[in-house]
């Protein structure tokens, strides 16, 4: 932290439910800016000196990886100019992806915290103010340093690599089913129960991820889509296999042919758990697929494996795929 007792916090709003109020056309839409959100939570003034900026006003399904690369660049510039922590406000639909991108791209031990809300700003019991205050407190805390990007909602503190949205409506929608939350905000103090090791960073300067397809395997799926993917301009493919990383036996040769053309990463369609590497040996199981050139995603979800592979494939080389996925095995 800085030498003063007042941490400097950069708060960046991208839009989302936390910023939404009713529109004339019906429903709620993003309207509130960062300054308005900060002004609505007077207790933030007790946390530190805040610079609030509205980078975008988008619902989170309309955010792109390129937007998050820009966010990472702004955060790195802010840290270089003396900010002690950063809070990113956005919609919850894509928080698990945005947070993982920032975890990969922001090359600093200073805290980056992503938050949002499950209820609109005008709703009774809106959770946005509490989540924003909680996120700012975590971002200002010295003990949050060195943990990579964090996600804070409903008083829970999650590591970006593990967090998933698990419900469409509940304020408790965010879980880290593999390990649980790494901490909790209690009495306005972050209490960390475990500390995760930071994984290697990839450069934000190199731009947004290359396009990577994400394909979920279903019972009886004959794999007919897979062969068309290289011709559609995809730089790589993530396959969400069944169970510990399995496809139909007849599809395995198709996957192998695809892996000979572009990188193919194997994740699981299950909610959590690692892809196996040496247990099942039948055709279409993980041993067979790995022998055909497929790279296991480890414990990363398909959504996150897609982002990591896309960042590695910038420039079209992809020679670092195995190295990039090694920390997640």
- Structural domain boundaries of the chain? 8-192, 212-328
Confidence at residue 3, expressed as pLDDT on a 0 to 100 scale:
44
pLDDT confidence of residue 4:
56
The residues near 189 (Cβ < 8 Å, ≥ 6 apart) are: 137, 141
221 annotated as a binding-site residue: no
pLDDT of residue 26: 77
176 among annotated binding-site residues = no
User: Mean of the pLDDT values across residues 299-316?
Assistant: 95
Tell me if domain 8-192 and domain 212-328 are identical in fold.
Answer: yes
- Show which residues are catalytic: 17
Q: Which fold has domain 8-192?
A: Rossmann fold (3.40.50)
Confidence at 121, pLDDT banded by 50, 70, 90: confident
| For the chain, percent of residues with pLDDT exceeding 70 | 98
Residues 6 or more apart in contact with residue 279 via CB below 8 angstroms: 244, 285, 286, 287
pLDDT score at 24: 74
Q: What is the dihedral of CA 164, 265, 230, 209, to 10 degrees?
A: 50
* pLDDT given for residue 315 in this prediction: 82
Within the chain, where are the H helices?
A: 34-39, 65-80, 95-105, 128-140, 252-259, 286-291, 302-312, 321-325
Give the pLDDT score at 21: 80
93 among annotated binding-site residues? yes
Give the model's pLDDT for residue 223.
Answer: 94
CATH number for domain 212-328, candidates 3.40.50.2000, 3.40.50.2300, 3.40.50.40, 3.30.1330.10 = 3.40.50.40
Average pLDDT, integer, range 170-176:
96
CB 152 within 8 A of CB 204: no
Could you read off the pLDDT of 218-251 as tens digits, one per residue? 999 999 999 999 999 999 999 999 999 999 999 9
What is the value of pTM for the model shown? 0.95
In this predicted model, what pLDDT tens digit does every residue of 95-108 receive, in sequence order? 999 999 999 999 99
What's 246's DSSP letter?
Answer: B
Quote the pLDDT of residue 241. Answer: 98
Q: List 85's β-bridge partners, or say none.
A: 9
Instruction: Summarize pLDDT for 34-80 with one digit per residue, the tens.
Output: 999 999 999 999 999 999 999 999 999 999 999 999 999 999 999 99
pLDDT at 179: 95
Q: Is the pLDDT of residue 297 over 70?
A: yes
- The reported pLDDT for the residue numbered 2 is 46
């Amino acid at each position: 932290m800085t030498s003063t007792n007042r941490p400097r916090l950069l708060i960046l709003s991208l839009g989302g439910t936390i910023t939404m109020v009713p529109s004339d056309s019906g429903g709620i839409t993003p309207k509130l800016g960062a300054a308005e959100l900060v002004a609505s939570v007077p207790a933030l003034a007790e946390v530190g000196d805040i610079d609030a900026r509205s980078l975008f006003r988008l619902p989170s399904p309309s955010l792109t990886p390129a937007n998050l690369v820009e966010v990472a660049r702004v955060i790195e510039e802010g840290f270089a100019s003396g900010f002690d922590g950063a809070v990113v406000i956005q919609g919850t639909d894509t928080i698990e992806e945005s947070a993982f991108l920032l975890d990969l791209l922001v090359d600093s031990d200073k805290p980056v915290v992503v938050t949002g809300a499950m209820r609109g700003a005008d709703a009774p019991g809106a959770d946005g103010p509490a989540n924003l205050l909680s996120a700012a407190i975590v971002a200002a805390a010295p003990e949050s340093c060195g943990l990579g990007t964090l996600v804070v909602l409903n008083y829970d503190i999650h590591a970006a690599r593990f967090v998933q949205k698990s419900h469409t409506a509940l304020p408790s929608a965010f879980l880290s089913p593999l390990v649980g939350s790494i901490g909790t905000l209690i009495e306005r103090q972050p209490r960390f129960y475990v500390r995760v090791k930071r994984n290697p960073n990839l450069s934000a300067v190199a731009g947004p991820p290359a396009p990577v397809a994400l394909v979920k395997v279903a019972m009886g799926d004959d794999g007919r889509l897979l062969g068309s993917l290289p011709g559609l301009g995809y730089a790589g493919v993530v396959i969400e296999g069944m169970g510990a990383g399995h496809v139909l036996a007849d599809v395995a040769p198709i996957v192998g042919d695809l892996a000979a053309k572009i990188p193919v990463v194997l994740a699981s369609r299950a909610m959590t758990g690692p892809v196996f590497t040496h247990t099942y040996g039948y055709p279409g199981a993980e041993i067979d697929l790995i022998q055909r050139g497929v790279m296991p995603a480890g414990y990363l979800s398909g959504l996150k494996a897609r982002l990591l592979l896309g960042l590695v494939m910038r420039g079209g080389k992809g020679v670092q795929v195995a190295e990039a996925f090694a920390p997640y095995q």
